[in-house]
Structure 1
């Protein structure tokens, strides 16, 4: 198993993110112990490794494996911060309906064994119109009433924490030029936090075209949920801002952005104005966070998109 550990180290993107001095100490320690953790679960669950999925994510690692019976699978290891517990609970609730299926799990340790999807083929491989159509279809299967006694956070509480962080960013000197759009985003969030009287649904939480992968048992399945419970317009907002770089580079970007929001709202029967508001808030929150981290081009792109709406 030692040889497997030597060649199944974390991908470069994960090392850059979690190995930085600014990264959380717990995350750095987890990263350092990751090869041994991979080896432990390969042995425990009788898995034969193929390779690490690259470029991979920024908060976890996926190893493509085969089970003892030859079944292909994906071993996902996440920082044990509780996110895998919530991800496992959501995937178990969906039980393969619109989302990847869990084969085995040790969620408290941040380890999930998932059915193998085609990790290199997401909805972003399709033309824009087709991708949005397929994304809407998958999302309709995910939206469902949460189980009684669930432990998923609500949209109101989750966005309250994000809004508090935005208020802190607002006072930074580098935020002087964007305070107007930050204030608008905060006002929108406060107005939307009541949920609009909609019966809460279990939401994916980070739904976009890149989080929907090609599969064998059905054409497309969602992965990587950050589940929340709340109104559907919140879940749709990130999808409304997909491929924002391409959108902003085209003539008439503002009109195209507003048409996209209206079309998505109509196709999934959510209130268009609430979808617009959540899209603005999520774009501003993410854009400001990128600016704070020094990723100015991405941050400015998201804030420009928000301004168009």
Structure 2
């Protein structure tokens, strides 16, 4: 199969796994895609672009003409965990898994990839996002394979002090202190999306909005909401009253979903600082500046 991987995918894989590992997988990708398409009896329409940051997304059709989506990810992106989460939700608030092929290919129901919650006005988008994420918060199976919020953030926290400089050191210290306080108690252990934001919720046919692309983790709801709080951060930064709007958003989301305000504030701070440091290390300086300024408002 001959195709050109979207540049967004190429750049993101290089940032995440290193250029050598990314190029190795990208070199194997046409063969992996051909095997999955043949094995599942599909006809390819086109590559979805710009697509995802960790997977190739192909718009395909089944033998009966049904439009579906084929998602292919490297093993480092842990597609088996995504499959486990989606199968556990079984279409309740999320895209439905129709089949799998090999270790990294998932056949998913076709959603309207061009229409995400980011296409809605801000207030409406947050309302629909809250209604969607609420459906995902269910108890995991007893033998679930997912890591905990404490484990995931522990790895992230260990890398943060070395990435700090004199300007960001106070923020990093505050973020690490917030995390330490949060993981000292665990109010609930629910299956979480792990990377929930407006762009991860797409329009569907059997339901108005369905979540895609989970990075599943087990823990408290406040952790899952923390990424949503900073959605459209560029608009918040540009707004004259952006700081107060950001703080009100924390309180509004917490109250609407019965989440503790202080815990949501703490996880929002930690996740914004951690993401800002990673963006800066990857050379995405504008993203880093926005995220760290946002964190400073909290």
**TM-score range normalised by the length of the shorter chain:** over 0.9
What TM-score does the superposition give when structure 1 sets the normalisation length?
A: 0.93
1:87-136: per-residue Cα shift (whole Å, max 9, x none)?
Answer: 00000000000000000013x62110000000111000000000000000
Relative to 1, partners in 2 of residues 1:19 and 1:266: Cα closer, same or farther, differing over 3 Å? closer
Q: Give the C-alpha shift of residue 26 in structure 1.
A: 3.4
Relative to 1, partners in 2 of residues 1:19 and 1:231: Cα closer, same or farther, differing over 3 Å? closer
- Equivalent of 1:236 in 225, 229, 238: 225
- Equivalent of 2:105 in 92, 101, 111: 111
* Structure 1 segment 117-196 matched on structure 2, within 5 A: 117-170=111-164, 175-194=165-184, 196=185
1:11-53: per-residue Cα shift (whole Å, max 9, x none)?
Answer: 1222233368982533321111111211111111110000000
**How far, CA to CA, are the matches of 1:136 and 1:155 in structure 2?**
20
Do structure 1's residue 41 and structure 2's residue 42 form an aligned pair?
no
**How far, CA to CA, are the matches of 1:301 and 1:209 in structure 2?**
18
**Which residue of structure 2 aligns with residue 266 of structure 1?**
255
Q: Secondary structure at the match of 1:269?
A: coil
**How far, CA to CA, are the matches of 2:188 and 2:293 in structure 1?**
32
- The CA RMSD measured in Å over matched residues stands at 1.5
Relative to 1, partners in 2 of residues 1:217 and 1:296: Cα closer, same or farther, differing over 3 Å? same
Note the residue ranges of structure 1 that are not aligned, 5 or more in a row. Answer: none
* Structure 1 segment 54-133 matched on structure 2, within 5 A: 54-81=49-76, 83-106=78-101, 109-133=103-127
Work out the number of aligned pairs and report it. Answer: 298
8 Å Cα contact 1:233-1:275 kept in structure 2? yes
8 Å Cα contact 2:82-2:215 kept in structure 1? yes
**Which residue of structure 1 aligns with residue 192 of structure 2?**
203
**How far, CA to CA, are the matches of 1:289 and 1:147 in structure 2?**
32
**How far, CA to CA, are the matches of 2:26 and 2:214 in structure 1?**
21
Q: Secondary structure at the match of 1:81?
A: helix
Q: Give the C-alpha shift of residue 9 in structure 1.
A: 3.0
1:70-92: per-residue Cα shift (whole Å, max 9, x none)?
Answer: 11110000011251010000000
1:131-155: per-residue Cα shift (whole Å, max 9, x none)?
Answer: 0000000011000000111110000
Do structure 1's residue 225 and structure 2's residue 218 form an aligned pair?
no
Do structure 1's residue 212 and structure 2's residue 206 form an aligned pair?
no
**How far, CA to CA, are the matches of 1:22 and 1:87 in structure 2?**
18
8 Å Cα contact 2:10-2:22 kept in structure 1? no
Relative to 1, partners in 2 of residues 1:103 and 1:264: Cα closer, same or farther, differing over 3 Å? same
**How far, CA to CA, are the matches of 1:89 and 1:164 in structure 2?**
28
What TM-score does the superposition give when structure 2 sets the normalisation length?
A: 0.97
- Equivalent of 2:20 in 14, 18, 25: 25
